[in-house]
Amino acid sequence: MKLSEICKEINIDFSGADIEITGLHTLNEATSSQISFFNDKKYIDQLSTTSAAAVLVSSNYANLLPENVIALVTDEAYLKLALVSKFFAHKIVTTGEEPHVGESCSIDTKASFGRGVVLGDNVTIMAGAYIGDNVNIAANTLIYPNVTVYHGSAIGANCIIHAGAVIGSDGYGFAHTRQGEHIKIYQNGNVIIEDDVEIGANSTIDRAVFGSTYIRKGSKLDNLIQVAHNCDIGEHSLLAAQVGMAGSTTTGRNIVMGGQSATAGHLHLEDFVTIAGKGGVTKSLKGGKTYAGFPAIDHKTWLRLQAKLAFLVKKK
């Protein structure tokens, strides 16, 4: 869309070149044909270095942008972002076409496909599965019944996706008006699942707002797991049943999360972190250690704490 058209739709005035806008992205990743936004002071250093074509920004910070970046001045940058995101959302259609199929594939006649699907050699897709527009599935991957893979997702080689899993559903993102209404932020990224990954039954992997949600190679996810938008789960990680990863959680390799453990958003778990069952992670964690409890602390410290509590209760 032309920038002038976008600004008219969201009721913002601007001055500068009326350029073609191809999408949205973060300040540090936006290109010269994309719009970005600024609503959090922790990203203030990125204002002066962004390559975005235009940035939704309050008047207090507009002067920090590079000279060639157009300031779209607003005191509701996040809300305006939500409104703009709709213009670049994937167009949903119900008609599909035959996928491009590699050699020796086995596809049930009750599987459904969108447009532009590409399957590698020896892919198996069972009854009731839906594979959306422009999905790529690499060789030797097995898709069990009633799996849904949303548009734009990419699944690597030698993967197993168990029944009822949903790959690429929208992340949980909303901007809020002053009247308390919740405006959808359209999730225009995708999901990338690398090679040798197994996803358990009825698990959900949300697509990214921008960019990609990643499940890195060799990771194994149990049943009933929620991975939110823009998470990046490191190589060879193990997640037990009912784990929940809040948005933009990133991890190193070989993390282990026990059943019903969870993370808050925008945290990083370093390599070889282990979280005991029901552990609640509220801050980024150093690698090579085991943590337990809520909020999650060093496991040995948590055990001593439980012993002292049990002793106090017993004394009464």
Cβ proximity of 243 and 261 under 8 Å: yes
Q: What's the order of all strands across the beta sheet hosting 290-292?
A: 106-107, 124-125, 142-143, 160-161, 198-199, 220-221, 238-239, 256-257, 274-275, 290-292, 297-298
Q: Which of 185, 183, 250 is nearest to 212 (CA)?
A: 250
Active site residues: 229
Q: Distance between alpha carbon 17 and the CA centroid of its chain, in Å?
A: 33
Cis previous bond, 295, omega within 30: yes
Helix (H) or strand (E) holding 85: helix 77-85
59 contacts 44 by C-beta, under 8 angstroms? no
d(CA 157, CA 122): 10
What is the distance between the alpha carbons of residues 39 and 180, in angstroms, rounded to a whole number?
A: 18
